[in-house]
């Protein structure tokens, strides 16, 4: 008798003694006595499978399987509080789809090494959780703007003029004919489009030629930008407030499991509710001076000053 493969999330929801088939990649493997414990992962989670010597002809395959091998496992669902998700699969068939070479990532791998083999590191449960949260964020951005009557537009990636300053432009040789640059922002195009579509937005890459290893300076990043006709400062601040609130609500609603796995303290996210506090530039300077920070009226506020201001509030502020 054959079964249609189901996701691991679905398999974990089946009642005990259900027969099923899962497929995925080997996440962990250990041998204990005459049993092989193979944890299989797919995009929805992980599940422990147990192959006992003599109970299946495929025991040697399970016993010798390598990490990240692709497998298809049939078996009977059994409850076990020690297993991930509280259930495991008693193996009746263990089929190797593709056996992997020895996996190079270990628990002691350095950040530099992980960056060098990023194509393998994206398979980790941590990266999978991050990608799922990111997916929710991007979808929420699109949903918010569409629900508010904004039109999505796509703007050129090659530009001929700076938006954020000429010193941060990535120059590109355009067939030897002229110099063009990778876009820093879609701002100019969006501003032009409000005279026909009125409310527009885009989500696209932006590039800044800034040599920095801080979290605040990325040479490439995804940029959500919007422009609206007939809108003043308070109008656009309201849009930003609603957008951030909507994104956080969706992440809390849809990604609680991922946040738990990432050990994210969600209390700060739960406090993200409108209205956001608003302070003037003068008030910000006074706050910083009271904290002993040397700053004069008229000076730009840098990362240190911004960080100090955030400590005065429990949620985003303007």
User: What is the distance between the alpha carbons of residues 19 and 6, in angstroms, rounded to a whole number?
Assistant: 11
pLDDT for residue 163: 83
Q: Which of 157, 131, 7, 11 is CA-nearest to residue 75?
A: 11
SS3 113: helix
Res. 54 pLDDT band, cuts 50 70 90: confident
The CATH number of domain 121-276, selected from 3.20.20.150, 1.10.760.10, 3.30.930.10, 3.20.20.70: 3.30.930.10
Res. 271 pLDDT band, cuts 50 70 90: very high
Res. 265 pLDDT band, cuts 50 70 90: very high
Instruction: Give me the mean pLDDT over the 76-93 stretch.
Output: 96
pLDDT for residue 182: 95
Would you say residue 214 has pLDDT above 90? Answer: no
SS3 129: helix
Q: What percent of the chain has pLDDT over 70?
A: 98
The domain ranges of the chain are 8-98, 121-276, 277-318
Those residues whose C-beta lies under 8 Å from the C-beta of residue 187, and which sit 6 or more positions away, are 163, 225, 227
The predicted-structure confidence for 225-264, as pLDDT tens digits, reads as follows: 999 999 999 999 999 999 999 999 999 999 999 999 999 9
pLDDT for residue 166: 62
pLDDT for residue 138: 98
Instruction: Give me the mean pLDDT over the 168-193 stretch.
Output: 93
The predicted-structure confidence for 85-117, as pLDDT tens digits, reads as follows: 999 999 999 999 999 999 999 889 999 999 999
Res. 165 pLDDT band, cuts 50 70 90: low
Q: What percent of the chain has pLDDT over 90?
A: 87
> CA 256, 45, 106: angle at the middle one, nearest 5?
105
pLDDT for residue 2: 56
pLDDT for residue 133: 98
For residue 309, the tally of other CB atoms under 10 A from its CB is: 18
Res. 3 pLDDT band, cuts 50 70 90: low
Helices and strands in the chain, H and E counts: 11, 11
Those residues whose C-beta lies under 8 Å from the C-beta of residue 93, and which sit 6 or more positions away, are 21, 56, 58, 72, 73, 74, 75
Strands 70-79 and 45-52: unpaired
Average pLDDT score, the chain: 94
pLDDT for residue 252: 98
Question: How distant is the alpha carbon of residue 60 from its chain centre?
Answer: 38
CATH architecture designation of domain 8-98: Beta Barrel (2.40)
Those residues whose C-beta lies under 8 Å from the C-beta of residue 102, and which sit 6 or more positions away, are 66, 67
Would you say residue 292 has pLDDT above 80? Answer: yes
Instruction: Give me the mean pLDDT over the 50-67 stretch.
Output: 90
The answer to whether the pTM exceeds 0.75 is yes
């Amino acid at each position: 008798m054959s079964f249609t493969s189901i996701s691991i999330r679905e398999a974990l929801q089946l009642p005990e003694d259900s027969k099923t088939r899962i497929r995925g990649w080997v996440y962990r493997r250990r041998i204990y006595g005459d049993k092989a414990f193979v944890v299989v992962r797919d995009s929805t989670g992980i599940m422990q499978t147990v192959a006992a010597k003599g109970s299946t002809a495929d025991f040697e395959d399970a016993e010798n399987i390598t990490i990240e091998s692709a497998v298809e496992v049939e078996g009977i669902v059994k409850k076990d509080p020690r297993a991930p998700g509280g259930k495991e699969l008693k193996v009746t068939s263990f089929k190797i789809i593709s056996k992997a070479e020895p996996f190079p990532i270990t628990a002691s791998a350095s950040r530099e090494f992980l960056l060098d083999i990023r194509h393998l590191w994206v398979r980790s449960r941590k990266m999978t959780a991050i990608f799922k949260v990111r997916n929710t964020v991007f979808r929420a951005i699109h949903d918010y703007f569409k629900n508010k009557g904004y039109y999505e537009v796509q703007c050129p990636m090659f530009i001929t003029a700076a938006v954020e300053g000429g010193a941060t432009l990535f120059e590109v040789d355009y067939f030897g004919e002229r110099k063009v640059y990778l876009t820093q922002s879609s701002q100019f195009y969006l501003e032009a489009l409000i005279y026909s579509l009125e409310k527009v937005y885009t989500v696209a890459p932006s590039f800044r030629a800034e040599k920095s290893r801080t979290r605040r300076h990325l040479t490439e990043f995804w940029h959500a930008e919007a422009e609206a006709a007939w809108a003043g400062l308070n109008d656009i601040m309201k849009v930003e407030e609603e957008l951030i609130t909507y994104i956080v609500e969706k992440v809390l609603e849809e990604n609680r499991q991922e946040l738990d796995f990432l050990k994210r303290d969600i209390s700060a996210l739960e406090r993200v509710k409108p209205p956001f506090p608003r302070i003037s530039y003068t008030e910000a300077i006074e706050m910083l001076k009271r904290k002993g920070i040397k700053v004069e009226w008229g000076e730009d506020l840098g990362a240190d000053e911004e960080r100090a201001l955030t400590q005065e509030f429990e949620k985003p502020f303007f």
